[in-house]
Amino acid sequence: MIRFLTQFGRYVIMLKKVFSKPEKPSIYYKQTMHELVYLGLNSIGIITIISFFMGAVITLQTAYNTENPIYPTYLIGLGCRDSIILEFSSTITALILAGKVGSNIASEIGTMRVTEQIDALEMMGVNSASYLILPKIIATLLFNPILTLISIIVGILGGWIAGTLSGVITSQDFIYGIQYAFIPYYITYSMIKTLFFAFIITSVSAFQGYFVEGGSLEVGRASTKAVVFSSVLILLFNVILTQLLLS
């Protein structure tokens, strides 16, 4: 318990440093643009592939579970849409990004720590926590909602292609299903979750990297911890946010 409180205290102190006034906004802007490409644009490929197959499987499984004449087939499209918007695109995307982006952030910052690059920044009078972490947080907060939207669109597209090609649903029924009883608030809910998850992934991973002590072995461990802790926190906050936003 004491260990947890100590770590939490360090995390809060680090965040205080991260959100202090930037030394030179123009440099932070440049860094943020770089991180948008590095952490955001470079993640589109993996998100697209996973979302496509995720949508396809959801459609096929929904069709298999509703193989009953009393259920109209358009429910397959509706089920696919709601599952993707409410849960899969925000949460699964976040878990994937915790693995890809989280480990990347922890190892990058951790390596900078063990090779004294962070000391060099501090030595020059640069607020290293803010310089290294703030642009990453801003970039993921800006870009992860876009990734979630891409995931929703590609997921539904994957569901439509899988459904029509396998013959479990017609194209008209699927399109009718994804339009039926649509609640726009579900998108808002998904975006709110995405923003929380983006902050968790970036700040927790940066924390793991920033306080590494030792060498390459410890950087590897920090990278693993970043993924594990981010994933657990994402699942925990998924429950909390769902209760708060949908109850």
Binding residue (CB under 8 A) for another protein from 126, 146, 187, 192: 126
To another protein, the closest distance from the beta carbon of 121 in angstroms equals 8
Binding residue (CB under 8 A) for another protein from 7, 65, 115, 172: 115
Closer Cβ to another protein, 2 or 70, answer by number: 2
87 binds another protein (CB under 8 A): no
Long-range pairs, 12-21, Cβ under 8 A, ≥24? 14/129, 14/133, 14/206, 14/207, 14/210, 14/211, 15/203, 17/127, 17/129, 17/130, 18/129, 18/130, 18/133, 18/134, 18/137, 18/203, 18/206, 19/130, 19/134, 20/127, 20/130
**Cα Rg of the chain (Å, integer):** 21
To another protein, the closest distance from the beta carbon of 116 in angstroms equals 4
To another protein, the closest distance from the beta carbon of 3 in angstroms equals 15
Of how many residues is the chain composed? 247
Cβ–Cβ under 8 Å, residues 101 and 38: no
Kindly indicate which of the ranges 70-78, 111-119, 198-206, 229-237 contains the residues binding another protein, using the contact rule CB under 8 A.
111-119
Identify the DSSP state of 67: -
Kindly indicate which of the ranges 57-65, 119-127, 146-154, 160-168 contains the residues binding another protein, using the contact rule CB under 8 A.
119-127
CA distances to 44, 77, 202 from 208, rounded to whole Å, are: 25, 41, 10
To another protein, the closest distance from the beta carbon of 35 in angstroms equals 11
Binding residue (CB under 8 A) for another protein from 111, 205, 208, 223: 111
To another protein, the closest distance from the beta carbon of 172 in angstroms equals 52
75 binds another protein (CB under 8 A): no
Binding residues among 18-47 for another protein as defined by CB under 8 A: 23-24, 27
Q: Which two tokens mark 15?
A: 């965040």
12 binds another protein (CB under 8 A): no
Burial class (CB in 10 A: 0-12, 13-18, 19+), 170: middle
To another protein, the closest distance from the beta carbon of 17 in angstroms equals 9
240 binds another protein (CB under 8 A): no
What are the residues binding another protein (CB under 8 A)? 23-24, 27, 111-112, 115-117, 119-120, 122-127
